[in-house]
Amino acid sequence: MTPTILVLLGGLVFPLVGVGLLGTLLGVRAGMEAFGALFTGLIMAGYYAGYIIGTWLAPRIIRNVGHIRSFAAYASVGSATSLAFGLVVDPWVWLVLRIANGLCVLGLYMVVESWLNEQSAGPARGSIFSAYMASTLVALGLGQFLLLLGDTAGQTLFSVAAILICIGVVPVAITRVSEPRIDAITHLPISELLRASPLGVIGALSSGVLTGAFLGMGPIFGQRLALEDPEIALFMSAAILGGALLQWPIGHLSDLIDRRTVLILTSLATAVVAAVAAVIVIEGRSGLVPSAFFLGGLMFSLYGISVAHTNDHLEGGQVLEATRGLLLIYGIGAFAGPLLAGFAMQGAGPVGLLGISAATAAGLALFGLFRVTRRMPPPPEEQTEFIAMVRTTPVVLEMHPDADPSPELDLPRKGD
């Protein structure tokens, strides 16, 4: 791995630590301010709304002003919104800020990922892709523990998040590599994805609902259970750590047998763990953190398995567009997740989050069982290899080992 790649990863790791802190901090503070579970879910869903908007808007901005200026602009606005959360504690203002925050984080991802694409080639693409995904999860997990640095009722932690986002500008601003071009981002139509792999599409959507609900409403869940800030940080980081560690063994298993079987079993296990966690909550038993670890490991695995299953039924030249389409579907699910969880928690209390998780995972498993009766699996030797994935932006998928590296249709850039 070249020094340039390490510099670029460093330029994103610091902001992502701040983003991890901010997401949990907002949930905790929203609970303290009695925003209500439903409106808090709407605020958390705003992040994914900004992400979806940024998928179309960010490439245009980067093409018009360049990577370094774009990164500085996104980091500046992201830092400003982080500070503004603590200065103006109002649910409607927070909703607007969260949308802007999601758009800025998407832009930061996109700048770094396009540079990483430029720096990776041939067999190195896969290893860089894996390192990038792992560093993303580690950074988000580390951010949870920064919740212990200050009072969640004050401004300090919002300032810490803002500082970390600003620090990320430094390695990117001093890099000496030439700026790459951002190509047009095209998605395989959802109708074509559904024809190719109905289970892959529903799996990506369900995975988005599960992870969006947990990451968005997990801090509120912990607060409603009267957990202290260190306990909430441990609870959230356990889920992210589980996602980082369990994806590989589960994914490797899906390379050896019918991938649908692994997706069904993983979905069922997710539903069971969510149900067990619900019993723990209802009866006041111990074991919530181990449950979070396994719940995170299982639900984070669903997206990668769904992508790999879809790719099993595509031609090589379709993989990039299809995976981008699945990423968008995942984002739609992640937007819906906090809203559904907020509605459930408004009526059923904190256990509503686990109820939504169990129901979503069980629904995916049932749909998987139905699909098994409709199509024969491809031979194991013809299956693509599982790749552990985290939701970032469509740009990073150009490093996906199964993607066709051929260039996309270019959009006109400023001055063309």
Asked whether the beta carbons of 302 and 206 are under 8 A apart, the reply is yes
What pLDDT sits at residue 407?
42
Contacts of 130 (CB under 8 A, 6+ apart): 387, 388
Predicted confidence (pLDDT) per residue in 196-242, tens digit: 889 999 999 999 999 999 999 999 999 999 999 999 999 999 999 99
Asked whether the beta carbons of 301 and 381 are under 8 A apart, the reply is no
In this prediction the pTM is: 0.86
Average pLDDT over residues 102-114: 86
What is the percent of the chain with per-residue pLDDT over 70, rounded to a whole number? Answer: 84
What pLDDT sits at residue 384?
67
Q: How far apart are CA 326 and CA 306, in angstroms?
A: 9
R_g over Cα of the chain: 20
Tokens linked to 200: 């892959």
Asked whether the beta carbons of 209 and 360 are under 8 A apart, the reply is yes
Query: Which of 52-56, 221-225, 411-415 is the most confident on average?
Result: 221-225
**pLDDT of residue 406 exceeding 50:** no
CATH architecture of 3-178+187-399: Up-down Bundle (1.20)
DSSP conformation letters of 342-401: HHHHHHH-THHHHHHHHHHHHHHHHHHHHHHTT-PPPPGGGSPPP-------GGGGGG-T
Domain spans of the chain?
3-178+187-399
Helix (H, G, I), strand (E, B) or coil at 339: helix
Say how far residue 11 (Cα) sits from the centre of its chain: 18
